[in-house]
A = this chain, B = another copy of it.
């Protein structure tokens, strides 16, 4: 597996673009299109929030046939809590994109992100779609990555290449997310392309597994969004033998690559969490049960007290253990060891005398590594979060534009 240049246009047969459309008050790109020259097998996972954006329900219906060929997305407006009008607007975005690209509207997926509860400024959105569709290119992928940003400080892009039966297979992805990040099925807009040949059943299974290990393991503020989505388009241009057996050698190769890509993008989102100064990685090891390891790791990354302690460079392992304790997981606190980077802070649930200066140095790292050893089995899980700083409050206490 190797990292290669680019993102969603690194796999063969994909074009993209991102453009300004005047949706936000400031000069930023707001409309993106990703397009495959060939038909694709498609799969996605979506937010579990009961309050869902119009595009979420639209995409679920659209993916009933497991095919798609394009994605159109906008930032600046989430199209959530917008009722019937919102549904019409998502449909219109897909139809217009399809018309301009010469494909069915039902082969276009829709993503929106931004303010909740305001109707879409469709005139501007349509203008943006026309502009983006006219300018699709391989190097438009960076603009596309920028066009889905909201409070993000950096765009999130990555592409990798693996070899399956002698054929180079590429996977690329872009993602966004900075606040309202505590995904519980997928995350706030992640679009992934691949030229792998894979059937729809295997693809859906693989996407769900990758999401559970990546986007579903990050938290910025414990607020699960109304718009989370991860969608993958696979156009088969790599020419590898069709992957149609779950758990086969080729399946596992592709799963490993997809996991790596999703985890990398997810970590970029957590690192760029609103106000964050550092990424926090929490490894829970030697657990009796995978689900419990997962619960504990997520609970720690979501704890305001732990996040504030990391911001303040305070080696407060008691808050870490307390967050494990209320996670809902069943474990024996009297067996738990806690490490901060290389420094062991607690053993068998009790504090050790540790080197404060070394602990503080570990807290200055990016990422900060927290390891929780349950000494009860062989399962493990890793979650990612970020620290809680004054800037998180500043960003979210201000009226947004």
Contacts and interface: CB of A to CB of B under 8 A. Distances in A.
A219 to B, nearest CB: 10
A181 to B, nearest CB: 10
Given A115-B318, A223-B326, A303-B223, A51 B349 contact: yes
Interface in A302-325: 302-305, 308-309, 311-312, 314, 316-319, 321-325
Nearest to A388: B393
Interface residues of A, number: 65
Given A326-B224, A399-B314, A117 B351 contact: yes
A49 B317 CA distance: 16
Given A51-B325, A326-B184, A351 B118 contact: yes
A116 to B, nearest CB: 3
A184 B328 CA distance: 11
Given A82-B350, A348-B83, A50 B324 contact: yes
A312 B116 CA distance: 17
B396 A304 contact: yes
B319 A223 contact: yes
Given A116-B319, A318-B116, A390-B393, A49 B326 contact: yes
A317 B117 contact: yes
Interface stretch (A138-146, A195-203, A279-287, A329-337): A329-337
A81 B346 contact: yes
A184 B326 CA distance: 9
Interface in A177-220: 179-180, 182, 184
A397 interface: yes
Contacts of A398: 312, 314
A397 B275 CA distance: 14
Contacts of A182: 326
A398 B311 CA distance: 9
A154 interface: no
A82 B318 CA distance: 11
B222 A333 contact: no
A333 B50 contact: yes
A394 B312 CA distance: 8
Interface of A: 48-52, 78, 80-83, 115-118, 179-180, 182, 184, 221-226, 302-305, 308-309, 311-312, 314, 316-319, 321-327, 329-331, 333-334, 346, 348-351, 388-390, 392-394, 396-400
Given A50-B325, A51-B321, A81-B321, 15 more contacts: A50-B324, A50-B329, A50-B331, A51-B324, A81-B346, A117-B321, A118-B351, A222-B303, A304-B392, A308-B392, A309-B396, A311-B393, A314-B397, A389-B397, A390-B394
20 contacts: A48-B326, A50-B324, A50-B325, A50-B326, A51-B325, A81-B349, A81-B350, A82-B350, A83-B334, A117-B318, A180-B322, A221-B304, A221-B305, A222-B302, A224-B326, A225-B322, A304-B392, A311-B397, A314-B398, A390-B394
List of 4 A-B pairs having minimum Cβ-Cβ separation, nearest first? A116-B318, A312-B397, A51-B325, A308-B396
